[in-house]
């Protein structure tokens, strides 16, 4: 529709305009339609037309904005029509009833809201908050306050504990001053609580230190891991970059080579083929140009090749091969003789060949051993089988004597012997099947070349020194118990009536059968051609050999060191874990590195066991004079001084032993510490330390007896009778003697009758 502005209402005819004068709304109308395309200058006169209310037009369908063209910038904005108010429907009876019902419902809802049930419903249904995150946030905000309250609570508990200890001590001293035994008990209880508080504080400090060290170690490990990951990642990135760079360089080189090849092809001179000669006298139809259907191929002239010898060897390039004309006669193609390069054969090395056939020398060795020793071994076994019936005793019922077969000794190489022993240990298990078995130590035997007894070894070690070293190493074991030297002598005196200070292997076997010990350890040093060899064997109570190990004394080591090494093997074979064996203190370090000091200490022990205390004091002084850090010799000197009545000297020797206590084993260190507490008057702490000593070493009955005497001194209910019963149940031979422990600790009270106590324990049913 042309002739009016786009977006405006179309003009209406005059009849419609005249008929619409009754409308209230004015409407614009065009008086004249001018064709704007026919002239450049025109005028439009617009007069207001009577208002006409057009009928409502249907809404055009929505058109996608992408399908519309760009808007006309010069067109005026389209006026928005005024909203036409919707006529209200006439009121009816039904509508009036609905309005009244709605009003009544609103009023009822308002009244219900102000009631109790309406308020509760509103309160319950309107609160919808995430209580879980809010509570956790409040709990985190209260973290400083909680930590402060915990610290305050801990301080209050510590203060109450201190008040309790002080109250117990004050009440105990008051009741003790009145002559009541309850006072001593309260004082001892206060002392125990104080000691336990101190120990708990030390444990807490140690745990905090350990935790801090662990945290620092974990932080260092995490930092190291992060650094390692960072370095690994950086190296991977660098490797990837290098690979990408190399790939790019390779592609670049390939492209460059391709470009150079193309450039060489383009720059090569083009050779125009010779035009065919046209015979002008020939007719037009006979010319080659005029015969397209019977076109004949024109063969290019052969390219002249340079003269080469028949024996020349070369590799033609791709361009040269492509330039050959295979349609030419065979005589024109040059013949090339290609000589293949010589093939080099790899020589096989000798190492892989030996590794491949490495089992051949072993097979040859086994075959040789079978050939050399086989006939003799077969003959020996056959002879034993033939002689066995004649050697068996006659068996008469009902007695069945034990049959002992003759022993056969076959000398085999050391590696075979070691392998067989390892396999036997693997399948047989430990010698002591259960922990807590007793092992008796026999005296070390030193035998000369002719079988005679020798007082010392080639390097000067005596029997007493070797026995001290053997006992100091084996007594550290916790899987089994070792019968100390003095206890074995007391048991020998009680069972066999012998007052000898020696314990050879025969006497030790008989004592083990009488006292019920599980095993006996025998050691022998044999001298042959100025070379000593050490052997250690384990026997059962019947005398059968359970295990044996031997070694020669080399030039670099001594007899004491060789014996100590074999003792470690025996401990592992008896059943003690390997970690415990390796963690134990070497015997030379626990005793002394000076052999002369060890000899003097061994003599001091012999005098001490026999009750010769002045001689024991003199020998112990010689030991500490030769080794000023010999802590165990200082402890023996303190005990000898105390039993000899010289308590001041004993106190000084005990303090010196504690000064060098880092050289003692765990058992002896706890014993020296408990002795110091007892000598300083800290009876409760001494009793607790003796209890720790017995808890870690269940065979130490001396610790139980010392604790019982301290309980009698403190005034504990029962007077330590329970500890004495346990001690004499473990060892009925009264070792160490209760009277000697009382003299050493300075106990002046009455002692129980040991014989009656042991008899009562033996009468009790097991």
Residue-wise pLDDT for 135-159, tens only, equals 888 888 888 888 889 888 888 888 8
Nearest to 676 by CA among 697, 655, 707: 655
Tell me how crowded residue 87 is: count the other CB atoms within 10 A of its CB.
6
- Distance of alpha carbon 673 from alpha carbon 631, whole angstroms: 12
Sign of CA dihedral 444, 450, 453, 454: negative
- Distance of alpha carbon 691 from alpha carbon 711, whole angstroms: 11
- Distance of alpha carbon 466 from alpha carbon 634, whole angstroms: 20
Nearest to 324 by CA among 336, 339, 311, 312: 336
Block residue for tokens 């990951």: 229
Q: What pLDDT, in 10s, does the model give residues 582-623?
A: 989 999 888 998 999 999 999 999 999 999 999 999 999 999
> Exposed e or buried b for every residue in 117-135, given b needs 16+ CB within 10 A?
eeeeeeeeeeeeeeeeeee
- Distance of alpha carbon 435 from alpha carbon 441, whole angstroms: 18
Residue 532: is its pLDDT beyond 60? yes
Question: What integer pLDDT is reported at residue 759 of this predicted model?
Answer: 82
Tell me how crowded residue 65 is: count the other CB atoms within 10 A of its CB.
6
Question: What integer pLDDT is reported at residue 381 of this predicted model?
Answer: 65
Residue 405: is its pLDDT beyond 70? no
- Distance of alpha carbon 536 from alpha carbon 571, whole angstroms: 11
- Distance of alpha carbon 700 from alpha carbon 735, whole angstroms: 10
Average pLDDT over residues 548-556: 89
Residue 698: is its pLDDT beyond 50? yes
Block residue for tokens 């009698």: 712
Q: pLDDT-based confidence at 77, cuts 50/70/90?
A: low
Question: What integer pLDDT is reported at residue 76 of this predicted model?
Answer: 55
> Assign residue 533 a region: left if phi > 0, alpha if psi is -120 to 50, beta otherwise?
beta
Question: What integer pLDDT is reported at residue 641 of this predicted model?
Answer: 95
What token pair was written down for 357?
């056939």
User: How buried is 424 (Cβ within 10 angstroms: 0-12 exposed, 13-18 middle, 19+ buried)?
Assistant: exposed
Sign of CA dihedral 153, 158, 161, 167: negative
**715: Cβ contacts below 8 Å, ≥ 6 apart:** 181, 184, 185, 188
Give the residue with greater pLDDT, 705 vs 173: 705
Q: What pLDDT, in 10s, does the model give residues 82-135?
A: 656 555 556 566 667 777 878 887 887 777 666 655 554 444 444 445 677 888
Question: What integer pLDDT is reported at residue 301 of this predicted model?
Answer: 52
Block residue for tokens 């209050």: 156
First to last CA, the chain: 130
Work out whether strand 27-28 and strand 48-49 pair parallel, antiparallel, or are unpaired: antiparallel
Q: What is the widest separation between alpha-carbon atoms in the chain?
A: 169
Question: What integer pLDDT is reported at residue 265 of this predicted model?
Answer: 77
Question: What integer pLDDT is reported at residue 269 of this predicted model?
Answer: 60
Dihedral, 54, 56, 60, 65 alpha carbons, nearest 10: 70
Question: What integer pLDDT is reported at residue 765 of this predicted model?
Answer: 60
CB-based contact 745:706 (threshold 8 Å): yes
295-299, 540-544, 642-646: segment of lowest average pLDDT? 295-299
Q: pLDDT-based confidence at 339, cuts 50/70/90?
A: low
**678: Cβ contacts below 8 Å, ≥ 6 apart:** 686, 706, 710, 745
Q: What Rg, from alpha-carbon coordinates, does the chain have?
A: 58
Question: What integer pLDDT is reported at residue 59 of this predicted model?
Answer: 53
Q: pLDDT-based confidence at 667, cuts 50/70/90?
A: very high
- What is the rounded average pLDDT for all residues in the chain? 75
Question: What integer pLDDT is reported at residue 316 of this predicted model?
Answer: 46
Q: pLDDT-based confidence at 644, cuts 50/70/90?
A: very high
Residue 289: is its pLDDT beyond 80? no
User: How buried is 5 (Cβ within 10 angstroms: 0-12 exposed, 13-18 middle, 19+ buried)?
Assistant: exposed
**25: Cβ contacts below 8 Å, ≥ 6 apart:** 51, 52, 53
Q: What pLDDT, in 10s, does the model give residues 436-456?
A: 999 999 999 999 888 888 888
Residue 347: is its pLDDT beyond 70? no
Which stretches does DSSP call E strand in 391-462? Answer: 438-441, 445-447
Q: pLDDT-based confidence at 8, cuts 50/70/90?
A: very low
Residue 15: is its pLDDT beyond 80? no
- Distance of alpha carbon 600 from alpha carbon 462, whole angstroms: 11
Q: What is the DSSP string of 19-55?
A: HTTT-SS-EE--S----TTS-S-------EE----PP
Q: What is the pTM (predicted TM-score) of this model?
A: 0.49
Question: What integer pLDDT is reported at residue 207 of this predicted model?
Answer: 85
Question: What integer pLDDT is reported at residue 658 of this predicted model?
Answer: 95
Question: What integer pLDDT is reported at residue 346 of this predicted model?
Answer: 61
Give the residue with greater pLDDT, 171 vs 473: 473
CA atoms within 13 A on the CB side of 165: 13
Q: What pLDDT, in 10s, does the model give residues 20-59?
A: 444 444 444 444 444 544 545 445 454 555 555 555 555 5
CB-based contact 265:323 (threshold 8 Å): no
Residue 703: is its pLDDT beyond 90? yes
Q: What is the DSSP string of 137-173?
A: HHHHHTHHHHHHHHHHHHHHHHHHHHHHHHHHHHHHH
Name the strand (E) or helix (H) holding 426: helix 414-428
Question: What integer pLDDT is reported at residue 602 of this predicted model?
Answer: 93
Give the residue with greater pLDDT, 29 vs 754: 754
Average pLDDT over residues 277-299: 47
Q: pLDDT-based confidence at 375, cuts 50/70/90?
A: confident
Q: Which residues pair with 550 in a beta bridge?
A: 535
Average pLDDT over residues 313-328: 45
Q: pLDDT-based confidence at 377, cuts 50/70/90?
A: confident
Question: What integer pLDDT is reported at residue 17 of this predicted model?
Answer: 44
Q: What pLDDT, in 10s, does the model give residues 707-743?
A: 999 999 998 888 888 889 899 898 888 889 999 999 9
Residue 327: is its pLDDT beyond 90? no
Q: pLDDT-based confidence at 761, cuts 50/70/90?
A: confident
255-264, 334-343, 412-421, 548-557: segment of lowest average pLDDT? 412-421
């Amino acid at each position: 529709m042309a002739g009016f502005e786009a977006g405006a209402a179309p003009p209406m005819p005059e009849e419609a305009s005249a008929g619409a004068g009754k409308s209230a709304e004015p409407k614009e109308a065009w008086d004249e339609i001018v064709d704007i395309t026919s002239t450049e200058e025109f005028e439009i006169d617009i007069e207001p037309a009577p208002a006409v209310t057009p009928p409502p037009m249907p809404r055009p369908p929505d058109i996608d904005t992408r399908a519309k063209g760009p808007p006309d910038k010069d067109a005026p904005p389209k006026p928005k029509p005024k909203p036409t108010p919707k006529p209200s429907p006439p009121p009816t009876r039904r509508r009036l009833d609905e309005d009244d019902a709605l009003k009544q419902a609103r009023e009822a809802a308002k009244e219900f809201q102000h009631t109790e049930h309406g308020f509760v419903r509103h309160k319950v249904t309107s609160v919808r908050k995430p209580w879980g995150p809010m509570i956790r946030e409040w709990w985190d905000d209260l973290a400083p306050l909680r930590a402060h309250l915990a610290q305050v609570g801990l301080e209050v508990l510590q203060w109450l504990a201190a008040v309790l200890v002080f109250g117990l001590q004050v009440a105990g001293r008051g009741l003790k001053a009145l002559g009541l035994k309850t006072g001593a008990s309260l004082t001892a209880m206060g002392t125990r609580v104080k000691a336990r508080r101190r120990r708990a504080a030390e444990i807490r400090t140690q745990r905090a230190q350990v935790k801090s060290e662990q945290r620092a170690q974990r932080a260092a490990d995490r930092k190291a891991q992060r650094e390692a990951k960072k370095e690994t990642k950086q190296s991977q990135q660098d490797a990837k970059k290098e690979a990408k760079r190399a790939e790019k360089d390779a592609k670049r080189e390939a492209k460059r080579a391709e470009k150079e090849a193309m450039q060489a092809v383009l720059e090569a001179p083009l050779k125009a083929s010779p035009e065919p000669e046209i015979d002008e006298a020939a007719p037009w139809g006979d010319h080659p140009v005029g015969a397209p259907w019977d076109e004949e191929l024109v063969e290019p002239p052969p390219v002249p090749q340079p003269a080469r010898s028949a024996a020349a060897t070369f590799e033609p390039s791709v361009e040269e091969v492509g330039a050959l004309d295979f349609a030419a006669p065979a005589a024109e193609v040059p013949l090339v003789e290609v000589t293949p390069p010589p093939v080099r054969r790899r020589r096989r090395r000798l190492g892989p060949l030996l590794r491949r056939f490495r089992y051949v020398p072993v097979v040859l060795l086994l075959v040789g051993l079978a050939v050399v020793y086989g006939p003799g071994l077969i003959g020996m076994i056959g002879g034993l089988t033939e002689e066995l019936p004649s050697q068996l005793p006659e068996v008469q019922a009902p007695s069945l004597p034990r049959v002992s077969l003759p022993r056969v000794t076959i000398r085999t190489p050391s590696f075979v012997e070691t392998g067989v022993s390892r396999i036997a240990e693997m399948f047989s298990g430990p010698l002591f099947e259960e922990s807590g078995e007793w092992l008796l130590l026999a005296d070390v035997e030193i035998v000369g070349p002719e079988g005679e007894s020798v007082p010392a070894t080639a390097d000067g070690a005596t029997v007493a020194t070797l026995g001290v070293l053997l006992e100091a190493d084996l007594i550290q074991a916790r899987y089994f118990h070792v019968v100390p030297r003095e206890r074995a002598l007391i048991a020998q005196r009680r069972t066999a009536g012998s007052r000898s200070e020696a314990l050879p292997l025969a006497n030790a076997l008989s004592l083990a059968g009488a006292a019920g010990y599980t095993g006996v350890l025998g050691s022998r040093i044999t001298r042959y051609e100025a070379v000593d060899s050490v052997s250690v064997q384990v026997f059962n109570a019947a005398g059968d050999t359970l295990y044996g190990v031997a070694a020669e004394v080399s030039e670099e080591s001594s007899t004491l060191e060789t014996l100590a090494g074999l003792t470690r093997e025996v401990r592992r074979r008896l059943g003690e874990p390997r970690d415990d064996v390796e963690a134990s203190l070497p015997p030379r370090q626990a005793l002394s590195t000076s052999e002369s000091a060890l000899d003097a200490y061994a003599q001091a022990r012999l005098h001490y066991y026999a009750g010769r205390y002045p001689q024991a004091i003199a020998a112990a002084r010689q030991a500490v004079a030769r080794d000023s850090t010999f802590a165990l010799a200082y402890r023996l000197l303190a005990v000898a001084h105390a039993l000899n009545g010289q308590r001041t000297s004993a106190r000084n020797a005990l303090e010196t032993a504690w000064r060098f206590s880092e050289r003692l084993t765990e058992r002896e260190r706890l014993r020296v510490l408990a002795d110091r507490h007892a000598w300083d008057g800290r009876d409760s702490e001494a009793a607790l330390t003796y209890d720790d000593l017995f808890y870690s070493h269940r065979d130490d009955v001396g610790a139980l007896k010392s604790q019982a005497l301290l309980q009698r001194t403190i005034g504990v209910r029962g007077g330590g009778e329970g500890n004495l019963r346990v001690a004499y149940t473990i060892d009925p031979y009264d070792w160490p003697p209760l009277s000697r422990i009382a003299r050493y600790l300075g106990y002046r009270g009455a002692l129980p009758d040991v014989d009656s106590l042991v008899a009562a324990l033996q009468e009790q049913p097991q």
